[in-house]
């Protein structure tokens, strides 16, 4: 080959089901790059967005997808770059997750995804048919080995492509973000490149979709698995490379993990609010660290003009909390209002007095957050803004939250963030600009539902609690394995019991950004009616 083959990697942020919107993005990249590239590669299911879930089961949806693809095919009759796109594609009555090579007014090749993930947040086997092991696609004299996401995670697909003459591996992906996952992706890609002595191009989706957030971070490896190109995280971008690839590896700077995690949360919230067309968010400010960090993320995601902070004090709310909430909102530039719940709580207490004579104290305590929830939802109905709930993963895990109270809302940006991480992220955010008062970070956490209340009256210290929860949730360890890390057996059993008992609450909690390997929801599906913890306690 005398002329190098130019290939553009384009990581875009699609919207599931909005084919006109997604095609506009594809066209814009195509038109901008038409004079400087031979082939543009887009992420997995870029035509319809990922994951489309049960939309795939609607024939009418598939008709619309096919119409969108046919429009791109028709437009490709003019001189322009070839497109390697991905879409749900019907062949002989079966639906595949497929890559399609479009060039010169025709679909030159179709390659179906061979390995369909069926774990964690993925259940592609429910809606797609697995494709056969793919053969390479010849393009301008180069045999392209096309894989789709999960196909790269097993050596079989790449080895098959190599045996059939592939000269270059290209992987189309919609791989959700998890903390530290980029290293794992590159390690898998490095193995495929080294095992087959083939360069590899990895193109990933970016942006938020419901609870998932995609970080992009597309990259290029040489045949020895060295990084030649590394694209930005969480941003749409395009990068053109030339095959045969340059041999000089690129320096990939280390990134602050707090910055990466914070950016993932900002991206997830921004796209959830914007793609669902909410004009903004409403946050119940307590003067505590969770609502302060949630407000900071919201302002960074949406701008201060789209964030409304509301302090709803009761007779137990301290002056310090009032001052902290107001100072945080002002530092962020967000609007701030105070709506007292004292008269509402008194009215409920009086109305229910004859029914609550022998009720435990928690009954009366929980009237307060439920009054706050009612106020926030009324403000949401009035303005159209979405209520952003503020509970962290530690609280959601052990049920330290009030159903229909502080758990109400349309989204929870901290749902998959442990309490210790909340403190770390708050400190990191303040290094960018001081928006969270130091007094919020240093004071003891409290729900302020009764006099002199402190979280640690009910819960183990958060450093201890979070490690036990991490062992139970992400690592699936048993009691002995967790005790071996230095925790008391009775504490481990107590936390395990709280985790299981709170499952019914979590089923009713709002969605939130997934940033760990085991987020509550589709990642972790536990039965509500579950006596296994009773067996553990008796062991």
Query: Which two three-digit tokens encode residue 198?
Result: 């083939």
pTM here is: 0.93
Specify the range with the lowest mean pLDDT, choosing from 74-83, 167-176, 509-518.
Answer: 74-83
- For residue 58, the 8-state DSSP code is -
Tell me if residue 419 is catalytic: no
328 is catalytic: no
Q: Read off the DSSP letter of residue 127.
A: T
Is residue 113 part of the annotated active site? The answer reads yes
User: Is pLDDT at 281 greater than 50 in this prediction?
Assistant: yes
Nearest to 446 by CA among 365, 347, 339: 365
Tokens for 28, please give them: 């814009």
Q: Which of 334, 338, 332, 275 lies closest to 306, judged by CA? A: 334
Rounding to the nearest 10 degrees, give the CA dihedral for residues 488, 491, 497, 499.
-100
Tally of CB atoms within 10 A around 253:
6
- The model's pLDDT over 422-477, given as tens digits with 9 standing for 90+, comes to 999 999 999 999 999 999 999 987 776 777 767 677 889 999 999 999 999 999 99
Query: Confidence band (pLDDT; 50, 70, 90) for 537?
Result: low
Select which of 25, 103, 113, 236 is catalytic: 113
- The alpha carbon of 372 is separated from its chain's Cα centroid by a whole number of angstroms, namely 28
Q: Which pLDDT belongs to residue 255?
A: 86
Residue-level pLDDT at 524:
85
Sign of CA dihedral 62, 207, 170, 129: negative
Catalytic residue among 149, 206, 408, 471: 149
What would the pLDDT profile of 337-351 be if each residue is shown by its tens digit?
A: 999 999 999 999 999
pLDDT at 539 over 70: no
For residue 392, pLDDT beyond 60: yes
Label residue 479 by pLDDT band (50, 70, 90).
Answer: very high
Instruction: Scan for tokens 């701008």, then name that residue.
Output: 303
């Amino acid at each position: 080959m005398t002329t190098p083959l130019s290939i553009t990697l384009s990581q875009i942020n699609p919207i599931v089901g909005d084919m006109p919107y997604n095609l506009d993005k594809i066209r814009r990249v195509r038109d901008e790059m038409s004079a400087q590239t031979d082939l543009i590669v887009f992420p997995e299911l870029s035509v319809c967005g990922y994951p489309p879930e049960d939309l795939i089961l609607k024939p009418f949806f598939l008709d619309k997808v096919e119409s969108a693809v046919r429009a791109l095919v028709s437009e490709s009759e003019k001189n322009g770059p070839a497109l390697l796109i991905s879409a749900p594609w019907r062949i002989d009555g079966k639906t595949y997750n497929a890559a399609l090579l479009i060039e010169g007014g025709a679909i030159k090749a179709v390659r179906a995804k061979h390995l369909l993930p069926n774990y964690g947040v993925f259940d592609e086997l429910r809606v797609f048919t697995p494709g056969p092991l793919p053969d390479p696609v010849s393009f301008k004299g180069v045999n392209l080995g096309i894989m789709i996401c999960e196909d790269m995670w097993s050596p079989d697909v790449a080895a098959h492509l190599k045996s059939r003459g592939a000269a270059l591996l290209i992987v189309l992906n919609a791989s959700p973000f998890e903390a530290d996952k980029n290293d794992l992706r590159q390690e898998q890609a490095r193995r495929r490149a080294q095992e087959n002595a083939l360069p590899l191009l990895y193109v990933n989706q970016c942006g938020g979709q419901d609870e998932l957030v995609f970080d992009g971070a597309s990259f290029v490896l040489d045949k020895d698995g060295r990084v030649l190109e590394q694209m930005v995280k969480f941003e749409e971008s395009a990068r053109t490379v030339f095959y045969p690839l340059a041999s000089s590896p690129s320096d990939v700077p280390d990134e602050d993990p707090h910055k990466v995690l914070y950016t993932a949360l900002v991206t997830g919230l921004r796209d959830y609010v914007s793609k669902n067309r909410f004009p903004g968010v409403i946050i119940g400010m307590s003067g505590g660290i969770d609502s302060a960090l949630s407000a900071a993320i919201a302002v960074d995601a949406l701008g201060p003009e789209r964030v409304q902070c509301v302090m709803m004090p009761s007779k137990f709310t301290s002056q310090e909390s009032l001052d902290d909430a107001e100072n945080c909102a002002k530092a962020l530039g967000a609007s701030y209002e105070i709506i007292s719940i004292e008269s509402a709580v008194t009215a409920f207490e009086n109305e229910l007095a004859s029914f609550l004579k022998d009720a435990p104290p928690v009954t009366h305590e929980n009237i307060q957050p439920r009054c706050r929830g009612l106020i926030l939802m009324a403000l949401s109905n009035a303005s159209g803004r979405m209520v952003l709930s503020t509970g962290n993963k530690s609280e959601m895990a052990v049920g330290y939250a009030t159903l229909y109270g502080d758990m109400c809302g349309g989204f929870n940006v901290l749902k998959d963030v442990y309490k210790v991480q909340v403190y770390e992220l708050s400190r990191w955010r303040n290094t960018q600009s001081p928006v969270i008062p130091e007094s919020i970070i240093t004071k003891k956490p409290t729900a302020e539902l009764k006099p002199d209340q402190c979280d640690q009256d009910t819960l183990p210290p958060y450093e201890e609690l979070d490690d036990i929860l991490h062992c139970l949730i992400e690592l699936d360890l048993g009691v002995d394995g967790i005790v071996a890390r230095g925790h008391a057996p009775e504490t481990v059993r107590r936390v395990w019991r709280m985790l299981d008992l709170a499952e019914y609450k979590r089923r009713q909690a709002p969605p939130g950004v997934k940033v760990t390997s085991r987020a509550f929801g589709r990642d972790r599906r536990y039965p509500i009616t579950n006596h296994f913890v009773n067996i553990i306690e008796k062991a």
